[in-house]
Amino acid sequence: MQKHLTTNDLLNGPLRYFLYFLLLIPAFFFRDFSPPNELKYFSIVDEALRNNTWFTFYNHGEIYADKPPLFFWLMMLAKIITGKHIMWIIGLFSLIPAIGIIIVMDKWFKKFSINHNPLVSNILLLTTTMFASVALFIRMDMLMTFFIVLAFYTFFKIYKNEHLQAEKWLLPIYIFLAIFSKGAMGFLIPTISITIFLIISKQIKTFGKYLGFKQWAILVVLCVIWFSMVYAEGGNDYLQNILFKQTVGRGVNAFHHKAPFWFYFPRMLWAFAPWTLLCITLIIKGIYKKMFNSDIHRFFAVIIISTIVMLSIVSSKLDIYLLPIYPFVIYLCSTILYTENQNKSLKIVLYIQSALFALFLPTFFVAKKYIPYDFSGILPYIGITILSGAGVLSIWLIIRNKTIHSIICLGFGLLFLINISSFIIPQFNKYIGFREMAEAAENKAKFENIDRYAYYKFYTAQNIDVYLHTKLECINSVEQLDSLNRLQKKTILFVRARELRRDNDFREWIQTEEPEWKVGDYSWYIVGN
């Protein structure tokens, strides 16, 4: 007799992973590349393909050793296969690892019979602000986190003697792939956490069982092959940059993203939103009731604490660097939630959160007139109504003592809001990226036979070459602008509002010109004769 697929099968079976994919992938179909990172990566990839370099990368001729090759390889292969940069295809390299992390964590908990609700764990992680944001942007961090999670899972299986023989060889490969995705943190996070866990467990003498001579040999050989190829392509300068400037330089006295020790602690409050208060409540409850007494709880706690402390000591800091702890924080909280879901303090937290969701729609109508952007069409209102409806339904579920269902309700409200918001993105692409600005400039250039492009000071504009397929000239002074005028040749000049506000000489120079295109902080002018 044929079994019919039910909603319960969809949500609790493996098909739920495909549902997450369907809800999140539309964001990549309609969004322009963000200038600070995504557009820069595409420009770097184009330059690498032109130069036929696969181990060394440059951004307009300058060494770009910030990131290892793996993610760039995926982008390059996508460009070779499709002939152009297709956002949703490149987006798979962030979204698939994000869903892969959830699959590995679920498999981990199932294998060792750890009590949790998989659907709740998935929803909490997928809708946590930082995790969701990185899943929907083109960055290397999610891929690195995926390999770090695989490394930790493999270690734990060996620790529990529940592993296949081949997994002893896979552990150093996963660590190498984490390094090859993002850099030194892919090595430090797993090795430091594993070492501290073994010390706390009074089993440090067994370290060689997990990372012995053979495992280190694999890791070293892979790194030597990589660095040899770097030297062959980029020479000693590039090798020195990747080995010292990007490791010691960032760690001890950062030349970029330098921040104080306490940087992460206040910022985690928003990064874990909207589940911040829930996570804090659950962790306090777990500590109070001494629930962190199993190997899995201790291991997760070690990963979280050691990573936060290590990254706080490291000089260079960004919110996204903490991404590897998010799966472990959320799944640790999920194990506490499984037994404490009827706790009064937990219900109060969920009442507050549900009420905030429920008030989202009326608040939006009140605040809409103060929002500087126009929301056209019905989709924004559908998305906000779903979120507020989820809040109302969640309150009703809490009253009926269905706390777990209330969290699932809120989580899916957020996922559907993300899905619906994806179809609204085209209205805001002119504020997000440079595509519309570049296309308008290119059309004007063809019409007036202009073949020269320049930008005034702001560095992200150099990557507009992804759209224009030609190099842009960097202008750093009014004197250089005067020289453009003397060339008796028109130039399209891209300008950022920041320079108009701060640079008095430039503002005075440009005030006689009218922008041909202006949206938000960006505009472009035609200068010269």
- Please state the rounded mean pLDDT for residues 244-258: 57
Averaged pLDDT, 390-416: 94
The per-residue pLDDT for 274 is: 94
Q: Find the mean pLDDT for residues 35-48.
A: 92
CA separation (Å) from 481 to 190, 477, 508?
Answer: 52, 7, 12
Indicate the residue type of 184: A
pLDDT over 60 at 471, yes or no: yes
Query: For residue 254, what pLDDT is reported?
Result: 46
Considering the chain, what percentage of its residues have pLDDT values greater than 90? 63
Span 162-191, mean pLDDT?
93
pLDDT of residue 487: 67
> Cα 489 to the chain's mean position, in Å?
43
pLDDT at 255: 45
- pLDDT exceeds 70 at position 85: yes
The residue assigned the tokens 């892969």 is 100
- Nearest 5°: CA angle at 185, between 180 and 187? 65
Write down the pLDDT at residue 372: 62
pLDDT reported for residue 115: 87
HEC assignment per residue over 16-51: HHHHHHHHHCHHHHHCCCCHHHHHHHHHHHHHHHHH
The Cα–Cα gap between 487 and 164 comes to 70
* Position with higher pLDDT, 417 vs 520: 417
At residue 248, does pLDDT exceed 80?
Answer: no
Tell me if 285 sits within 8 A of 334, measured CB to CB. no
Q: Where do we find the tokens 């702890």?
A: 325
- What is the C-alpha separation between 204 and 183, in angstroms, rounded? 26
Looking at residue 10, what is its pLDDT?
58
pLDDT at 2: 47
Q: How many CB atoms lie within 10 A of CB 221?
A: 12
User: What pLDDT does 251 receive?
Assistant: 46
Mean pLDDT value across residues 3-26: 77
- Whether 367 shows a pLDDT value over 80: the answer reads no
Confidence of residue 8 (pLDDT cuts 50, 70, 90): low
Percent of the chain at pLDDT > 70 equals 94
Tell me which residue has tokens 């739920």: 16
DSSP for 392-457, written as a single string = HHHHHHHHTT-HHHHHHHHHHHHHHHHHHHHTTGGGGHHHH-SHHHHHHHHHHHHHHT---EEEES
Question: How far apart are the C-alpha atoms of 126 and 118, rounded to whole Å?
Answer: 12
Tokens 């080995």 sit on residue: 243
Q: Is the pLDDT of residue 420 over 90?
A: yes
The predicted pLDDT at position 375 comes to 65
Task: Look up the pTM and report it.
Answer: 0.92
Region 294-317: mean pLDDT is: 92
Mean pLDDT of the chain: 89
* pLDDT reading at 109 higher than 90: yes
Least confident of 59-63, 84-88, 375-379, 448-452: 375-379
Residue 227 phi/psi, 5-degree rounding, is -70, -30
DSSP single-letter state for residue 5: P
Strand-pair partners of 475: 456
Q: pLDDT tens digits, residue range 373-393?
A: 666 678 888 989 999 999 999
Distance CA 294, CA 393 (A): 35
How many Cβ atoms sit within 10 Å of the Cβ of residue 502?
11
HEC states along 166-224? Answer: CHHHHHHHHHHHHHHHHCCHHHHHHHHHHHHHHHHCCCHHHHHHHCCHHHHHHHHHHHH
Confidence of residue 432 (pLDDT cuts 50, 70, 90): confident
Report yes or no: 219 and 188 within 8 Å, Cβ to Cβ.
Answer: no
Does residue 250 register a pLDDT over 60?
A: no
d(CA 73, CA 98): 19
